[in-house]
Amino acid sequence: MAKATYKDAGVDLDVYRQAMARLPRLINRTQTPRVIRLDGGFAGLFQLDFASPMFARGYDEPVLVSCTDGVGTKLKVAALTGVHNTVGIDLVAMSVNDAICCGAEPLFFLDYVAMPKDDPPLLEQIVEGITQGCLECDCALLGGETAIMPDLYAQGDYDLAGFCVGVVDKKNLIDGRAIAPEDTLVGIASSGLHSNGYSLVRKVVFDIGGLTVDQHVDALGQTVGQALLTPTRLYARPIRQVLNYYRVKHVVHGIAHITGGGLHENLERILPEGARAVIDRGSWTVPPIFPWLAELGDIEPPEMDQVFNMGVGLVLVVSPFYAESIQHQLADLGLESWIIGRIESGQRGVAWAK
């Protein structure tokens, strides 16, 4: 009887070591002076404050902000296209965009990659995207975990999860409590689908529409695969610049990241009692991918609204006096934005303007 080995069970430790050897050059791109090197350690080390004047933050009452999320079934589209170096951006964005809703500076990110077998080139592509996302939001990739589970995942499948830690001074914490009637809703453009609703997207595009990832769609000006793999927009760096610009307290009263559940559910999460958000439909530009999907799948408008961001990836609830100034800053930072509504007195919730 042959002796059982880990390799025979589906895990080749030699290949695993080869995969791990590909990652340090990528991870090192994201390291900042506040990362304390601990090569071979069991955890990552990050210095909250720094003695150098260039990096000192001088927090009075630092509050740690933590977020976790995944990419979802957008990973199935990556598998169909063979393009795996963008979904890592989505992974970072889904957590970091949540952290900025509290006004937090993202400090570091941890990833978790689960695969059915060791695949060094694939892992390298995935981590390339993760590090690119971290670089774009000034966040260090501090560590992570790669799990090889041959019987849990089918060949060609993998899963991603991410975890972000940020910090905000307590006096600058944004929690929605300052939202008041007459506040203005500033909607900031998404890059498209981001990373939500892909179970419906895949059903419509591949099952109902019968399309393949290589087919060109005139209405979108690109192939199906390119459109569906457009990375989630990262808002942390520009929003932090906007927040840091104003020395007056409570210019931005609330921030909502528009993910699954759409504008209604995500905006309602930050509203205090007695505040009603009224949205003006038609006040922003809806990217062509949304009407294209709706027509292809004969999806009703209410269903589109509750599943997708519909072109608004982030909403700032701001003092009306500063709304125009904030929009000018966003434009200078390369972000399109619109006044999409207002806060009124009334029962807590979100409604469309009549």
Sorted by where each begins, the domain ranges of the chain are 13-172, 184-352
Q: Using CA atoms, how far apart are residues 95 and 92, in angstroms rounded to an integer? A: 6
- 101, 210 contact by CB (below 8 A): no
- 339, 283 contact by CB (below 8 A): yes
User: Which pLDDT does position 1 carry in this prediction?
Assistant: 63
User: Which pLDDT does position 31 carry in this prediction?
Assistant: 87
pTM for this prediction? 0.94
User: Which pLDDT does position 173 carry in this prediction?
Assistant: 95
User: Which pLDDT does position 19 carry in this prediction?
Assistant: 82
User: Which pLDDT does position 258 carry in this prediction?
Assistant: 98
Residues lower than pLDDT 50 in the chain: none
Q: Using CA atoms, how far apart are residues 290 and 313, in angstroms rounded to an integer? A: 13
Fold of 13-172: 60s Ribosomal Protein L30; Chain: A; (3.30.1330)
Domain 184-352 annotated CATH 3.40.1190.20: no
User: Which pLDDT does position 333 carry in this prediction?
Assistant: 96
